[in-house]
Amino acid sequence: MIRVEGVSKVFRSGWLRQQTHEAVKHVSFSIEKGETLGLIGESGCGKSTLSRLMVKLLPVDQGTLFFEDTDITHYTMKQMFPLRTKMQIIFQHPDSALHPRQTILQSLVEPLLLHQITDRKKAIERVMDLLAPVGLNEEILSRYPHQVSGGQIQRVVIARALTLNPSFIVLDEPTSMLDVSVQAQVIDVLRTIQKQFDLTYLFISHDLELVAHVSDRIAVMCKGEIVELDLSKKVMDEPVHPYSLKLVNAFRGYQMNR
């Protein structure tokens, strides 16, 4: 479905931009259709940067990017436009995800109209069809973002991504700003729609328990590199890399103290 080969990204900053920071270093892996690949690693290790490279929200410095077997590394904005609908990204911050002065309905139909996929009437029909799968009802459509809860916003954001009929979704810490009980509900929604709409996920989190719960395979990232990638059970039971072992041991210690 999606594949990266030797992908790297260097950020430059400071006077004459002479300070460099290699945020992603020669990363290679693929995600199969219908799979959930979990991406775990501590804050600042490059998870978000890697995911933005994968959906071309950031240009890669080195390496190759394949989407459905097509090399999209050097695609222009114009070439990317039709592909944009197929790759969606859902972020952590529910507060900033929706325009504060647009109703939920306006936010939901906007991408369909922007991409000129359909007219307003059909767009509204499509939105209506997506409410039940994400666990919302019609009532919410006339409200503004400040009138709905964080969990509901995240459901709206998920529905909005679905309107465009994507095949690949990056979930960048999608539940880390939510209460634990709400987090579980949103995870349930994500699992339900994955089956229903045949979605492929890159699920990013710093929470190993959550990643192990939702992922088929886990990629462990440390200082810009993928240091381990295997079936979730394998990584949890027999981590190989010292950094994975450290993560798993911390998680086991946490479990024992509960």
Ligand X SMILES: Nc1ncnc2c1ncn2[C@@H]1O[C@H](COP(=O)(O)OP(=O)(O)O)[C@@H](O)[C@H]1O
Q: Which residues contact 19 (CB under 8 A, 6 or more apart)?
A: 12, 13
Does 257 sit near ligand X (CB under 6 A)?
no
Does 46 sit near ligand X (CB under 6 A)?
yes
Among 7, 39, 48, 88, binds Mg ion (CB under 5 A): 48
Q: Which is nearer to ligand X, 40 or 127 (CB)?
A: 40
CA 224, 229, 232, 235 torsion-angle sign? negative
Does 44 sit near ligand X (CB under 6 A)?
yes
15's tokens:
């006077």
Window of 43-51, 76-84, 127-135, 188-196 that interacts with ligand X by CB under 6 A = 43-51
239's tokens:
């981590």
Other CB atoms within a 10 A radius of the CB of residue 233 amount to 12
Alpha carbon of residue 118 to chain centroid: 25
Q: Which is nearer to ligand X, 143 or 206 (CB)?
A: 206
Nearest to 173, CA basis, from 89, 91, 53 = 91
**Cβ(247)–Cβ(239) below 8 Å:** yes
Does 43 sit near ligand X (CB under 6 A)?
yes
Phi, psi angle pair for 54, to nearest 5°: -65, -35
Window of 30-38, 39-47, 146-154, 246-254 that interacts with ligand X by CB under 6 A = 39-47
> Shortest Cβ distance from residue 44 to ligand X (Å)?
4
**Cβ(239)–Cβ(222) below 8 Å:** no
Does 59 sit near ligand X (CB under 6 A)?
no
Does 45 sit near ligand X (CB under 6 A)?
yes
26's tokens:
């020669």
Helix (H, G, I), strand (E, B) or coil at 244: helix
Cα three-residue angle 127-146-178, rounded to 5 degrees: 85
> Shortest Cβ distance from residue 63 to ligand X (Å)?
16
Does 47 sit near ligand X (CB under 6 A)?
yes
Residue 169 contact partner, candidates ligand X, Mg ion, none, CB within 5 to 8 A by sort of partner:
none
Window of 47-55, 70-78, 106-114, 250-258 that interacts with ligand X by CB under 6 A = 47-55
Window of 18-26, 43-51, 131-139, 179-187 that interacts with Mg ion by CB under 5 A = 43-51
> Shortest Cβ distance from residue 91 to ligand X (Å)?
11
Using CB under 6 A, list all residues that contact ligand X.
11, 13, 21, 23, 41, 43-49
